[in-house]
Amino acid sequence: MALCNDVKSFSRRHEHIADFFSLLAVGVLFASIWASLEYYAVVMRWVTAHLLLHGALLIAGLLGTVALILALLAVGSARFGEDNERCFGTFQGRRSGGSPISALRNWLLHIENVGKRHR
């Protein structure tokens, strides 16, 4: 919880740095799209050489890129919200056991509510 409060207070004090993190996230997104289009043939030849190993490395790299983009966006958007708002919350689908479909439905409702609060 302390890390979340530290990031939130830092991004509120230095809004220009938080804006830079958001801009950096967009830059990483477009750079990854450009790199995937530019080097598609080279990467596909590399993956087909050792499909299991190189495929796993490619998927790990893609997941790492997505995690980086989401982390940069989280730091950039941490300045919004109220002071008394909890940093980490859970949605109803995780607390109430139930089927995976109901958990997905509860998660979607949770994401809609989060989006409404930050508009």
pLDDT digits (tens), the chain, 119 positions: 566 667 777 767 777 887 888 899 999 999 999 999 999 999 999 999 999 999 999 999 999 999 999 888 877 776 665 666 666 555 454 555 567 677 777 777 777 776 665 54
pLDDT at 3: 65
pTM greater than the 0.85 cutoff = no
Whole-angstrom Cα distance, residue 91 to residue 17?
30
